[in-house]
């Protein structure tokens, strides 16, 4: 299905994705594959970055593109007091797709925080992966990705893809959903294991506090991707930013980014028992 975008949306995409990447001061590995690496920005303005709130960011790009476009926003979060980690992972069109992409996300989430509480956030397809990671407890017990421990303290989906079936039906980004799942012949069998909305339906909740934040004028994704998920997730919160598009959420210094920081700060506060 062909989609058209306004000049405003196209300019927003160009502006945000052309921001110069920011190199991280810390690099690490969470596995043996060359793509199983991460960048880390210690929180600034604090005497002990190890005690600062930890945010793990998962980048978008319809599961195809690398993480460099999100490095400016990761550095921006560190400037505002969050120790921020940005993992790489195997991606569609190369070494990744099903199951490797999901193997890597599960390993990164289980390994990098090393037992430290963290908020898992993701933009667009990275939001899909974040929501999927929070739903791993809903997977069949014999799934290699199933777990009952080590979940994020909270999940923030930034304009997230939540519905892979809808992504395939709408042919978003020229077949990105089918490419992730290995093609039309494989999609039906694989989708129930990696689609956040499918996993959630009939369950009501993942048990992980979740916020879905999106722009009111986001043209990249059908807004049902946001509203249908929150309707199915009975204790998730929907935050809609007026006059905001898809990419300004990750644009350092934008009003939308300030709102993201405010939401993250709230999510990182210890929960009252």
pLDDT score for 3: 77
Cα 27 to the chain's mean position, in Å? Answer: 20
Question: In which band, very low, low, confident or very high, does the pLDDT at 273 lie, cut at 50, 70 and 90?
Answer: very low
pLDDT score for 272: 54
Q: Which range marks the domain in which residue 107 is found?
A: 7-268
pLDDT in tens, 13-71: 999 999 999 999 999 999 999 999 999 999 998 877 778 999 999 999 999 999 999 99
Query: With the CA atoms of 42, 46, 51 and 52 taken in that order, what torsion angle do they form, in degrees rounded to the nearest 10?
Result: -60
Query: What's the average model confidence in pLDDT over 176-181?
Result: 97
Number of domains in the chain: 1
182 token code pair: 């290995």
Residue 196 is part of a domain; what is its CATH number?
3.40.50.1820
pLDDT score for 271: 65
> What is the chain's mean pLDDT, rounded?
95
273 lies in some domain: no
pLDDT in tens, 84-101: 999 999 999 989 999 999
Question: In which band, very low, low, confident or very high, does the pLDDT at 207 lie, cut at 50, 70 and 90?
Answer: very high
Q: Which of 131, 118, 111, 129 is nearest to 77 (CA)?
A: 118
1 lies in some domain: no
2 lies in some domain: no
φ and ψ at residue 268, rounded to 5 degrees: -85, -10
Helix (H, G, I), strand (E, B) or coil at 102: helix
Whether the predicted pLDDT of 209 surpasses 60: yes
> Quick one: what percent of the chain has pLDDT higher than 90?
92
Is the pLDDT higher at 2 or at 108?
108
pLDDT score for 269: 83
54 lies in some domain: yes
210 lies in some domain: yes
pLDDT score for 45: 85
134 lies in some domain: yes
Helix (H, G, I), strand (E, B) or coil at 154: strand
61 lies in some domain: yes
- Edge to edge, the sheet with strand 210-215 lists 26-29, 37-41, 83-87, 54-58, 119-123, 154-158, 210-215, 237-241
87 lies in some domain: yes
pLDDT in tens, 229-259: 999 999 899 999 999 999 999 999 999 999 9
Q: HEC states along 50-73? A: HHCCEEEEECCCCCCCCHHHHHHH
Tell me if 55 sits within 8 A of 117, measured CB to CB: no
Whether the predicted pLDDT of 126 surpasses 60: yes
């Amino acid at each position: 299905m062909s989609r058209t975008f306004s000049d405003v949306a196209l300019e927003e995409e160009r502006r945000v994705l052309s921001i110069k990447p920011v190199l991280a001061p810390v690099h690490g590995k969470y596995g043996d594959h060359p793509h199983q690496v991460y960048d880390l920005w210690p929180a600034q303005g604090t005497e002990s970055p190890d005690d600062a709130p930890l945010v793990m960011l998962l980048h978008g790009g319809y599961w195809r593109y690398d993480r460099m476009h999100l490095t400016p926003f990761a550095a921006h979060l560190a400037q505002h007091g969050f120790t921020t980690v940005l993992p790489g992972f195997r991606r569609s069109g190369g070494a990744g797709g099903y199951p490797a992409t999901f193997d890597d996300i599960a390993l990164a989430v289980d390994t990098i925080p090393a037992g430290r509480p963290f908020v898992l956030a993701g933009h667009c397809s990275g939001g899909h992966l974040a929501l999927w990671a929070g739903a791993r407890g809903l997977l069949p017990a014999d799934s290699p990705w199933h777990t009952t421990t080590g979940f994020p303290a909270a999940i923030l989906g930034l304009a997230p893809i939540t519905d892979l079936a809808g992504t395939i039906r709408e042919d978003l980004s020229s077949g990105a959903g089918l490419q992730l799942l290995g093609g039309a012949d494989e999609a039906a069998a694989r989708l129930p294991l990696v689609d956040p909305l499918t996993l959630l339906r009939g369950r009501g909740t993942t048990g992980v506090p979740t916020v879905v934040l999106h722009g009111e004028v986001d043209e990249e994704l059908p807004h049902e991707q946001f509203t249908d998920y929150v309707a199915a997730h009975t204790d998730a919160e929907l935050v809609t930013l007026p006059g905001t598009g898809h990419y300004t959420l990750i644009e350092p210094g934008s009003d939308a980014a300030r709102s993201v920081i405010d939401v993250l700060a709230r999510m990182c506060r210890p929960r009252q028992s």
